Amino acid sequence: MLSMADVRKTYDTGAVQVEALRGVSLDVDGGDFVAITGPSGSGKSTLMHILGCLDVPTQGTYLLGGTDVSHMSEAELAQVRNRQIGFVFQQFNLLPSMTALRNVELPLVYAGVSAGERRERAREALTRVGLGDRTDHRPGELSGGQQQRVSVARALVTDPTLILADEPTGNLDSVSTRDVLGLFHELHDAGRTIVLITHEPDVAREARRVLRITDGLISEDEVVRA
């Protein structure tokens, strides 16, 4: 599904160069559920940006679905993001003036899908995450857990090869956290590939495999579930 080989990322601040990733090699099989954890400043956010094709490595290669995306242009990366990656963020990133249905439709608008097909696929995605009866509700009318379910539906609506979740439970209470993690387990059981970025050890251990990144390198790689 994805493969990194000796990926390095250096930021030039002018006065000094900061090496955020110092040679990361990583393979994730299709259908796996992987958590990436580490302290602040460890490089996990930089790794997430590269995994999500929001940035490219300074050195090394990154293959997504067998395609080398390491040196693509921003326009090419945008196409990859829209077609192959579904994002779930800590802040939900829902437009408050739009209904749940319209929020879920948005990636399909950018993909040029017709209005009728957009609505049908968005309704199916919301039903899949248990919100088939909340399609006309705006984010302010939904709980935090429900808003995160809308963002998961938005991630699913393009049928991506990879779901990338960045601190998806960071703004949720314990009940909503269990609810959203249960949804990720359902998606994993259905064969989805999930990479979850988190600083919470308990959340990380909900994945099948946990990677710990320290000082720009993977320091641990543990299979915690069969």
The pLDDT assigned to 27 comes to 95
Helices (H) and strands (E) in the chain, counts: 7, 10
The pLDDT assigned to 127 comes to 93
How deeply is 54 buried, as exposed, middle or buried, from its count of CB atoms within 10 A (0-12, 13-18, 19+)?
middle
Site of tokens 């993977």: 218
Q: Quick count: other Cβ atoms within 10 Å of Cβ 160?
A: 19
Residue 101 parent element (H or E):
helix 100-110
For the chain, where are the E strands, in sequence order?
A: 2-12, 17-28, 33-37, 59-64, 67-68, 85-89, 162-166, 194-197, 209-214, 217-223
The pLDDT assigned to 92 comes to 87
Query: 135, 126 in Cβ contact below 8 A?
Result: yes
pLDDT tens for each residue of the chain, 226 residues long: 899 999 999 998 778 888 999 999 999 999 999 999 998 889 998 999 999 999 999 999 999 999 999 989 999 999 899 889 999 988 888 999 999 999 999 999 888 889 999 999 999 999 989 999 999 999 999 999 999 999 999 999 988 889 999 998 888 889 889 988 998 998 899 889 999 999 889 999 999 999 999 999 999 999 998 7
The pLDDT assigned to 225 comes to 82
The pLDDT assigned to 52 comes to 93
Q: Tell me the whole-structure pTM to 2 decimals.
A: 0.89
CATH number, domain of 126, equals 3.40.50.300
CA distance 138 to 143: 11
The pLDDT assigned to 67 comes to 92
Residue of 188, 217, 222 whose CA lies nearest to 43: 217
Q: How many domains does the chain have?
A: 1
CA distance 153 to 86: 9
Q: Which two tokens stand for residue 171?
A: 């703004």
Residue 51: domain span: 2-223
How deeply is 152 buried, as exposed, middle or buried, from its count of CB atoms within 10 A (0-12, 13-18, 19+)?
buried
The pLDDT assigned to 111 comes to 83
